[in-house]
Amino acid sequence: MIEVKGLYKSFESKPVLRDVSLQINDGETLAIIGRSGSGKSVLMKHLIGLLKPDRGRVLVDGIDINRIPYAGLRRVRRNFGVLFQGGALFDSMNAFENVAFPLRLFTLKSDQDIRREVMRCLQVVQLPDVGSKSPSELSGGMKKRVALARAIALQPRYIIYDEPTSGLDPETSNTINELIKSLAERLDITSIVVTHDMHSVLSIADRVAYIHATRMHWIGTVKELHESEDFNLRSFVKANEYFIGNMPFTASQFCRL
């Protein structure tokens, strides 16, 4: 479980997050939504200790990650996989070596075991035959999937997705959403999805956290999202060409829009 308690962060005296508290339960998929510049990515970086709060605490499985030595933080980070917005593949490595990178860096596995793990991960993301290809030979969606294979290479307990469908066409976005759901179910992974894509939210999320005006403005289930009368939340959802109100819906219905 991840707990954020009273987190406050500012840059150059400008508050970005104020008194943000959040609990992420084991095994759930939580979508963090909000307008551009609302602090979604800043919150994400706090979860893995890339940023330290000015005030407040971040606890991962009961460990305050800002009060432990760097060696301890590295051990905590082993429990996380991260899919960065652009994939962040190393251009100098082919797909196989990109996925193998964390295994070579953080484990003492033999070359044979690393090869087996890399092929397993590429199979999971439905790209078993791209190992020899360079990132420049891959489409945008394929890059994201190879990056996702790399994110699961160390068999993490948590995966953070930073705008996983950004820049992708609807069909490829659906593929990524299906992979997120599949990984959560098959690997019993806790998923944190930072996004502004309501299609993804309604397709994959168990709960939704909405950041507005530097604060955690609203948290609830997708059903509660549909029923919410909160003006700011409804305005954000409507701006994304989805509507919440009195009409019942299911995520699958929205996927067909």
Instruction: Inform me whether the pLDDT recorded for 252 exceeds 60.
Output: no
Mean pLDDT within 78-102: 93
* Residue the block writes with tokens 């860096």: 105
- Per-residue pLDDT at 245: 52
The rounded mean pLDDT for the chain is: 90
For the entire predicted model, the pTM comes to: 0.87
- What pLDDT does 84 receive? 87
Mean pLDDT, range 12-23, rounded to an integer:
95
Q: What percent of the chain has pLDDT over 70?
A: 93
* CA dist., res. 255 & res. 30, Å (int): 18
- Looking at the DSSP bridge assignments, the partners of residue 15 are 10
How many whole angstroms separate alpha carbon 209 and alpha carbon 201?
10
Quote the DSSP letter at residue 150.
Answer: H
Q: What's the distance, Cα to Cα, between the start and end of the chain in Å?
A: 34
Q: Where are the beta strands (DSSP E) in the chain?
A: 2-11, 14-24, 29-33, 55-60, 63-64, 80-83, 158-162, 190-194, 207-212, 215-221
pLDDT at 69: 95
Q: What is the average pLDDT across 190-210?
A: 93
pLDDT for 248 equals 39
